[in-house]
Amino acid sequence: MYLSKQSILSAIKAKKIGITPFDEKHLGEASYELHLSDQLFDVKPKGKRKFFDGKALKEKEIHRFELKNDSFQFQPKQFIIGKTTETISLSEDYAGIFDGKASLAQIGLFVHISSTHIDPLTNSTITVELFNSSDYPILLKENMKIGQVLFAEVK
């Protein structure tokens, strides 16, 4: 069962859930709205690699760039990795699920491809796997609403 707004606030007060930075206006009835940070990562094979095979990427295959008060024109069929502005901290009593926003899905923006689960004892930003499935560029901006996190008690 997902936590309600009041249960999320109680868990934050008890320091069982942490959201940094936290602003109560982003707290919904059963979720907290997350935002895109200014850091994006483009993944491209380098050197002799002709394909990805599930092995760890080499540092030179990950190109980092920043939005910094700018916007990024995300091209059709392009894939990049981002992260949330917010850091999520969970005690052993709670887990989370990251979910996208319907408004972004409706324009063809995938914000997660496989990783939605947030384990207990996490203390990190949330990785967002961004894919533009549309035939049109999508404008990405620093701090735009990118998804939400739902919380559940681990029993």
| CATH code of 100's domain | 2.70.40.10
Asked if the structure places residue 53 within a domain, the reply is no
0.85 exceeded by the pTM? yes
- pLDDT of 144: 95
In total, how many domains does the chain have?
A: 1
The catalytic position among 59, 61, 66, 129 is: 129
- pLDDT of 5: 98
Q: Which long-range contacts (CB under 8 A, 24 or more apart) does 132-136 make?
A: 132/74, 132/75, 132/76, 132/77, 132/78, 132/108, 133/76, 133/77, 133/108, 133/109, 134/76, 134/107, 134/108, 134/109, 135/76, 135/108, 136/76, 136/108
**Token output for 116:** 């939605």
Asked if the structure places residue 56 within a domain, the reply is no
Asked if the structure places residue 35 within a domain, the reply is yes
Does residue 129 have an active-site annotation? yes
Range of the structural domain that residue 85 is part of = 5-46+62-153
10-residue stretch averages of pLDDT, the chain, 155 residues long: 97 98 98 96 72 63 77 92 97 97 95 91 96 96 96 97
- pLDDT of 26: 98
Asked if the structure places residue 66 within a domain, the reply is yes
